[in-house]
Amino acid sequence: MPVPAFPAAALQFRIDVGDVPANRDRAVRWIAEAARQGAKLCVLPEMWSTGFAEERLLPLSGTTPEILHELRTLAGRLRIVIAGSLPERVGRGIYNTLYVINATGVVTGEYRKAHLFTPSGEDLWFRRGSSAGVIPTDTGAVGPLICYDLRFPELSRKYFLGGAPVLCVAAQWPSVRAAHWEILTVARAVENQAYLVASNAVGPSGPFRYAGGSVVVSPAGERLAALGEEEGLALATIDPAVVEETRRRIPCLADRNPRSYRGTRRPG
């Protein structure tokens, strides 16, 4: 059965490093506001409950099961799909994991961040994810990405090949590279003929300042809704029929020539 058009929201707020209660209150408040405005899909920023607390990540990750339980209850009560990244503890290691919670309150998929940003030392604090796939939801299939993943088109292309009409991006993208965020969010939408809902943190968090600019982009690269540097939500309508028409009119999938991509090697 085709999924009808629906409103989607990218939520943008400040993340206080290590202050789980304050971050949780902001997230719940903005999810409730998005639902009040009719959103059926909400995307939250990267590591929104704890921030990049580094040495404190292991104990702070212990709050994630409780946070997930509360989000599941909230999603079921508000009948809204929620996606966002949290620290996931596995043994003595931590993954930066994007959870997708369905409008029924069930976690329908998880994605562990595949590309760790080594210039800021993410590889020192996190394990690298090794698999990714399209995640089903009541609003249709979504392709999950976390921040730095935007710079790797292969991952978004996998979701395109898997038929996802929507890419969901959870990020803490710094102000110093805000121009790259603007370019890459549009590029990933256009090249994959998909909607993109990208949520970024805003303001100071630890030693960094985040750019905001949360956005909903159409398959044609139009910024349907976008924020500046204030807390808030970017809300716009997602229409899966537009994705189908875009892919029919410009048949990138049918026109791919995978044979020409094989055997590429890193210059050495």
Residues that are catalytic? 46, 113, 147
CA distance 114 to 128: 5
C-alpha 151: how far from its chain's center?
14
Helix, strand, or coil here: 41? strand
Which pairing describes strands 6-12 and 41-43: parallel, antiparallel, or unpaired? parallel
Helix, strand, or coil here: 194? coil
Sequence-ordered list of residues with C-beta below 8 angstroms from that of 12, at least 6 positions apart, any chain: 30, 45, 199, 200, 201, 202, 212, 214, 227, 230, 231, 232, 233, 234
H/E segment holding residue 9? strand 6-12
Q: Exposed e or buried b for every residue in 72-92, given b needs 16+ CB within 10 A?
A: bebbeebebbbbbbbbbbeee
Beta carbons of 205 and 234 less than 8 angstroms apart: no
